[in-house]
Chain A
């Protein structure tokens, strides 16, 4: 199994600002993903974080809004840019060799 550390665990941000979320895995993994969980909803995939290349975004998510970095096989960041109240959600990082493991999430509130 993989242990995933995510930070910050929560933040309250002003609209128009950006927040970068970090995800650290305790072992090298091939696949890393970022998900969003809006209030009262299930999880939706934002993008696949590709090591050494640009992330692959799902429909409805764009790089300008959610830039992602993955410099190596154990670390990734997600930035939520130019935030609005609609971006208030839990953002979760996942690693998936076979079984998927998740970090504890980042609870973001935009005011």
Chain B
């Protein structure tokens, strides 16, 4: 059974810092991996999708990497801003389209 773990559960940093969020999964037979952002009381916003054949994806200040063999993904956020404060969720996607989520990392960026 696939299990997804995110570390740390919470993170507080001063504005401008670069930071790394970690995601690990127990079964390397994944189809894709996707990172989401969730603001309090809101739905999910897709940040980055990494297909299983890819090693990384970049969008603006965000970079996500994937190492299937070790069951790990990281989300790198450069030059963090207060507007980045949110919960970040990692999800592995099976070939049936089902998502299995980690518990999330709640990020606070202080001005």
Partners in one complex: yes
Q: Does more than half of chain B's interface fall in helix, strand or loop, or is it mixed?
A: strand
Residues B103 and A104 in contact, CB atoms below 8 Å apart: no
- Return A68 CB to nearest CB of chain B, in Å: 15
Cβ 8 A contact of A43, one of B93, B96, B97, B99: B99
> Which A residues lie within 8 Å of B34 (CB)?
99-100
> Which B residues lie within 8 Å of A99 (CB)?
32, 34, 46, 49
> Which A residues lie within 8 Å of B32 (CB)?
98-99
Q: Count residues on chain B whose CB falls below 8 Å from chain A CBs.
A: 23
Question: Between A and B, how many residue pairs show CB distances below 8 Å?
Answer: 59
**Does B42 interact with chain A (Cβ within 8 Å)?**
yes
**Does B75 interact with chain A (Cβ within 8 Å)?**
no
Do A103 and B97 contact each other (CB < 8 Å), given the known contacts A42-B104, A43-B89, A98-B49?
A: no
The 4 closest A-B pairs by CB, nearest first: A104-B43, A31-B97, A96-B97, A102-B44
Given contacts A35-B99, A45-B100, A100-B93, 7 further A-B contacts (CB under 8 A): A6-B43, A30-B97, A33-B97, A42-B89, A42-B104, A45-B99, A92-B44
